[in-house]
Amino acid sequence: MKGVIMAGGQGSRLLPLTLHRPKPMVEVVGIPVIDFVKDALVQGGVDEVIITTGYRGESLANHVESWNSDAIKAWVNEEEVAMGTAGSVKLLANELTETFIVGSGDTLASFDIAGLLALHKEKGAMATMALWQVENVSEYGVVGLSETKGGEINSNLERGWVSRFQEKPSPQEAFSNVINAGLYILEPEVLDLIPEDEKFDWSRQVFPQMLELGMPLYACLTKGIWFDIGRPSDLLKAQNIILENRDLIWTQIPEKPNSKSDIKGICDGSIALKGSAIAEDSIVKNSLLMDGASVSRGCEIENCIIGRNAVIQEGCILNGCVIGDGESVPADSEWNDIRYPNDD
């Protein structure tokens, strides 16, 4: 079975971490986000993975090449022009001639795809989407389910026929708290709805069009892990969630991310990845040090993300800052909620 991972996004809200790499290559506990999606697909029966890329596609191509083995074939299809989430998959229409799976490469997800695929076949759906339950729906696409095709919405259902979509509603307007989680089981006929050479989106155009045409569209609330890492604060939260729920994830998670680091100072509620260092007399709280990052003596770091091989010089006090890969923060800097270098 073939699976497609959509990985064309830039991840502008994660700047400066995404200045030199696409959002799917940002690491969680030292593992690129896209690897969690790939491993879930393989666990679900996919043996060929195609990656659609755009921004900084060359780094993804090199990484995807390393996936190839006797168990999986992996390759990249780079878009010359951004075609949207559905348009990028339409470019692969000649490859996708049987039931296939589409996943988003820039959300951290580890689903029971085999179970979702079995449900798709059982219901005879043309498309089946994974759903996730959230408290605040205002940043997502809400999905309304019914027990019968075209029936009334029942907000208590965990699975059912899709009756309506609602894009980023206010909490007062929302008719449900389940959202489109960005993973779909699809039949190749769905691709016929996507025009050639036109930017097109799954949630805004393809799925609403399926409802208008009466095409069977099913959805199910999934179990496992789903996390939107759109902001630096989300990335910080994701580290601990992954470590606490490793039994729900197909990807092999390191037991002790801090064990390969040189920690002489205080590392309180923080994760320091391999080759990183915290000097004596320094305190690092609720922060992430990526590979090779270092904090010099006499620093106080809180709620920060320090990029790969970045250096925090002596005496810095940082709170809520994001430091780009390879950057050096001048000694005695006192910064609050700053991204360095500036992303303007």
Residues paired with residue 311 on neighbouring β-strands, in sequence order: 294, 328
Per-residue model confidence (pLDDT) at position 57: 67
- Work out the number of other CB atoms within 10 angstroms of the CB of residue 226: 20
3-state secondary structure of 58: helix
Per-residue model confidence (pLDDT) at position 197: 82
Instruction: Note the pTM of the prediction, 2 decimals.
Output: 0.90
Per-residue model confidence (pLDDT) at position 168: 85
Per-residue model confidence (pLDDT) at position 194: 96
- 7: tokens are 């990985």
Q: What are the backbone angles phi and psi of residue 230, rounded to the nearest 5°?
A: -65, -25
- pLDDT digits (tens), the chain, 344 positions: 999 999 877 778 888 988 888 889 998 888 999 999 999 999 999 999 999 987 666 778 889 999 999 889 999 998 877 888 999 999 999 999 999 999 998 888 888 899 999 999 999 999 999 999 888 888 888 899 999 988 899 988 999 999 998 888 888 888 888 999 999 999 999 999 999 888 999 988 999 999 999 999 999 998 888 888 888 888 888 888 888 888 878 888 876 677 678 999 999 989 999 899 999 999 999 999 999 999 999 999 999 999 999 999 999 999 999 999 999 999 999 999 999 997 54
Per-residue model confidence (pLDDT) at position 138: 85
Name the nearest CA neighbour of 103 among 210, 7, 14, 33.
Answer: 7
- 33: tokens are 């986000």
3-state secondary structure of 305: strand
